[in-house]
Amino acid sequence: MHSLLVVAQNTFRETLRDKILYNLVFFALLLIGASVLLGTLTIGEQARVVNDVGLAAINLVGVIIAIFVGIGLVTKEIDRRTIYTILARPITRTQFVMGKYCGLIFIGGLNISIMFSMFLVTVWLSGSTIQGSLFQAVELMLVEVLVMTAIAMFFSTFSSPTLSAIMTLGFYVIGHLTGDLKRIAEKSKDPIAEGITTALYYICPNLELFNIKGQAASGIVVSVDYQLATTFYGLLYAALLLVAACRIFERRDF
């Protein structure tokens, strides 16, 4: 456990030094600020626009960080050959992968917390009420980031950063489309297409489950059961990917 925490701490520090992280936070803050300006362009829906833009910015930046930092964490160690010095110490490969993952989710959590705080200030400054639903939406965004980080880590244990980025982004796109694909296949009434999309629907992560931004922006609170079940689904999916990532990394030769 101690070794895992050391790796996590190092990953956290290493990523904090990564300048892209600050740029992305700056971008999110800028976007949230711009949401106030966009709000003035609309009629009577200022609160909605501020909420929509703010939540979308937090979500987008959170996912981008998860993907683009996550895909490089393991390969960077291999490229720099620092992996040899790390694994020569009393650290198992599983601890290494899990430590990297934990460090990255700390970073993701910290980023989302900063962005969410700024967003709440923006909402408050724009004269809107801070709804409880916003907290629910951000909690599920955090779970989505956990899943995306796990996907990125999984691919980064056996492929190059470019390929990992492409595959993780692919998963992100499919994860948001599975529901629609299934509906389209049901309409087509082609048993093969329906079978493929149904399989994709259950195999790929259903990221749309974590998307309650629309309800949150309108102040609609989702049920606690849904919130808990979706969070559990996300954690379970991330756990599955991490188990696979650890297994692959255990067997990998450098």
Can you give the binding site for other proteins, defined by CB under 8 A? 38, 41-45, 48-49, 52-53, 55-56, 59-60, 172-173, 176-177, 180, 207-208, 211, 213-214, 217-218
Identify which of residues 16 and 220 has a Cβ nearer to other proteins in the complex: 220
To which residue do tokens 């993952």 refer?
101
The answer to whether the beta carbons of residues 21 and 107 sit under 8 Å apart is yes
Report how far apart, in Å, the C-alpha atoms of 180 and of each of 151, 213, 222 are: 21, 18, 21
Identify which of residues 122 and 211 has a Cβ nearer to other proteins in the complex: 211
Measured from the CB of residue 159, what is the shortest distance to other proteins in angstroms?
A: 23
Identify which of residues 44 and 132 has a Cβ nearer to other proteins in the complex: 44
Measured from the CB of residue 12, what is the shortest distance to other proteins in angstroms?
A: 28
Identify which of residues 34 and 248 has a Cβ nearer to other proteins in the complex: 34
| Token reading at 122 | 């923006």
Measured from the CB of residue 176, what is the shortest distance to other proteins in angstroms?
A: 4
Which one-letter amino acid corresponds to residue 117? Answer: S
Measured from the CB of residue 47, what is the shortest distance to other proteins in angstroms?
A: 11
CA distance 217 to 221: 10
Measured from the CB of residue 135, what is the shortest distance to other proteins in angstroms?
A: 17
Identify which of residues 7 and 57 has a Cβ nearer to other proteins in the complex: 57
Identify which of residues 130 and 184 has a Cβ nearer to other proteins in the complex: 184
| Token reading at 93 | 């490969």
Measured from the CB of residue 34, what is the shortest distance to other proteins in angstroms?
A: 12
